[in-house]
Structure 1
Amino acid sequence: MKEFKVTYFFDEEHYIRRFIYMESQEAAEQLIQSERERYISFTDSRGIYHELNTRNVRVTQISEYFRDQ
């Protein structure tokens, strides 16, 4: 599994970041596309629970993430 960083931007200053594990970039993109225009929920790496209405997102970025070990 690969780790991907997903960043949801609301404007130039406000964003939420999420990390997901998927087999490929294409699979990550399909997941994000399937979540358009709906509510999603997730817990971030700090243990903070988020509910996000993707309808309010202006830009979504997906990139493979490589953690420093």
Structure 2
Amino acid sequence: MKEFKVTYFFDEQHYIRRFIHVESQEMAEQLIQSERDQYISFTDSRGIYHELNTKNVRVIQISEYHRKK
């Protein structure tokens, strides 16, 4: 299982980041596309709960993430 960093940008200064665990980049893209124009909820790495309307997002970036141990 790989870890991917997903960043939702609202404008140049405001964004929310989440981490997902899926098998491949393609599966990460499919997940993000399936959530388009919906409310999603998740808890970030700091333990903060988020509810996000993906309809209001301007840009979404997905990249594989390699945690430093």
* Structures share fold, TM-score greater than 0.5: yes
Secondary structure in structure 1 of the residue aligned to 2:66 = coil
Percent of aligned pairs with the same amino acid: 84
Q: Is 1:11 aligned with 2:22?
A: no
What is the CA-CA distance between 1:36 and the residue it aligns to? 0.2
Structure 1 unmatched ranges of 5 or more: none
Residue matched to 1:52: 52
Q: Find the aligned partners of 1:46 and 1:65 in 2 and give their Cα distance.
A: 17
> Tell me, which stretches of 5 or more residues in structure 2 are unaligned?
none
Equivalent residue pairs, number: 69
RMSD: 0.3
Shift of 1:22: 0.3
1:52 shift after superposition: 0.0
Instruction: Give the CA deviation at 1:10.
Output: 0.2
Deviations 1:12-50 (A, max 9, x none): 000000000000000000000000000000001111000
Q: Give the letter aligned to residue 54 of structure 1.
A: T
Q: Partners in 2 of 1:51 and 1:61 — Cα distance?
A: 18
| 1:43 counterpart residue number | 43
Displaced runs of 4 or more, over 6 A: none
SS in 1 for 2:26: helix
Secondary structure in 1 aligned to 2:36? coil
